Amino acid sequence: MGVPINSYSFLKSILNECADVDSLQESKKLLENFNLFAFILYDPKEHFQFYQKLEKSFETLDTVSSDKLLFFTIVNPPSEWHEYQDYWQKDPNNPFLAWYNGIKTKAKDDDTTAHFIASQLNIPFESLPCIVITPNLKFNNFHWISTNKASLEDQIATLGKIARKGMKYEELNNRWNFLLDEIKNPLYKPLNNLKESNIGCSLAKALADVVSAFVTHTDLKESKEAFIQFESVLSDIKIEIKKIKEELNKGLYDLDEEQYILEQLDKFYVAINYYLSTQNKNEITLPINKKYLEHDSYLMLKTSYKVIDYLSDDDDFTSSVICLAKCFENEVNMSLVHWIRSNIGIDLPTYFNKFQSGINGEIKSGKLKPNFNKLYRNTHDKLLHPALFQSQIVLKKQINNSLPDGWARINSRFFLDSWENIAEIRNSAAHTELINHTTALNMQDYIKKLSNLGIFSYLYKIKKSFKGY
């Protein structure tokens, strides 16, 4: 059975945090009828044909899914679905159950929202559209599988069959274990290539947190509830950031360990940047063509520009400065850092942005030994790139012997100087309490000048060659 994520109350009800006791009890009773839940995640702009297919076939998907699978997504189902669908309208006074109780989002920001949800769920944006699957929306771990307009119906129908098979188990834990085993069963070909993800909170809370940032609703009470959660999310993130910075400033960690800590810090700043950016309704002009950027680079660039435009002069601009630096760093890592990796024998494009066993990636540069083939802890092939300033030092050394393709045609001196300055600002932002407006504008200026000089189009050409296309 399918339902649009029509209401912020839908997700709040799943969390047992709905202020209306009657609504909470009714929604809990209805949700108990389902054994399996699926969330369809996609970008309406990037995956426009999929979006059209989903809207047109929503009624069909609703039919083939069975009465024990609940799938949901942000979509406007066709009028035919509304005409016969009365399951969610047993209580006309319950806004959670009404299809017309719609979340209004700004269409121009749909791409940002999809990017951010994917990042919060640890799903690569390149794997979208995808279906997130769980027997319990309050679990921290879940499974997901990529989908497309041709496969979606088979995948939803298969999940519906599995959900119905779960009825043989009355005890909930046994049923959940059975369902988890079933969705991983290789005999279900539409679900092959299933992947697992784990986040620091329940799936329902992660989605509710994101939705709280862009809810605009005719019901004033619901808007207020969403804003309270929005403020709470920001407060919790800032508390975590403060703890991490206090640890960093103790100076107890070597460069390797500090890099892992900075990775965690960056994730929090990306989150803050997204939440703040949703409050800016102004149109923003970006200095870099989207086609030159990785999806996560684009997310960080867009949200940073919106945040800098939104905040007041006396506010803290740390999140936007770090995200602009991360945008630059990501593009460098996908291009020139891979040129360095090719020089030490990494097989590209096979191991593009991946760890390759059997190759020592350390390159001595003065007292430093940055590793360009370092396995990210607790993963089997994820790559941990050197710090931004380390990559710049190694590149300056290597171009004395050979040059990347096209290097002579760019303003390499300004590029390398800007690289160093961006790394310094980024390092300062990670350790200090506040970053002011002037520093944020300076960072924007570096990005704009680099773009005007054609640096990002140059990096795009390099990463295309190493990606193999």
Specify the pLDDT at position 378.
79
Winning range, highest mean pLDDT, from 24-33, 61-70, 143-152, 186-195: 143-152
**Position with higher pLDDT, 11 vs 263:** 263
User: How far is residue 381's CA from residue 374's CA, in Å, rounded to a whole number?
Assistant: 9
User: How far is residue 145's CA from residue 195's CA, in Å, rounded to a whole number?
Assistant: 6
Q: Is the pLDDT of residue 83 over 70?
A: no
Specify the pLDDT at position 39.
92
Specify the pLDDT at position 105.
46
CA distances from 304 to 75, 122, 215, 275, 351 (A): 27, 21, 21, 11, 31
User: How far is residue 132's CA from residue 421's CA, in Å, rounded to a whole number?
Assistant: 41
In which band, very low, low, confident or very high, does the pLDDT at 99 lie, cut at 50, 70 and 90? very low
Q: Is the pLDDT of residue 135 over 50?
A: yes
In which band, very low, low, confident or very high, does the pLDDT at 132 lie, cut at 50, 70 and 90? very high
- The closest alpha carbon to 103, from 274, 218, 240, 201, belongs to 218
Specify the pLDDT at position 16.
55
Average pLDDT of the chain, as a whole number: 85
In which band, very low, low, confident or very high, does the pLDDT at 6 lie, cut at 50, 70 and 90? low
Q: What is the mean pLDDT of residues 177-193?
A: 90
Specify the pLDDT at position 353.
96
| Model confidence pLDDT, tens digit, residues 384-428 | 999 999 999 999 999 999 999 999 999 999 999 999 999 999 999
Could you list the beta-strand ranges (E) of 120-198. 130-134, 141-146, 195-198
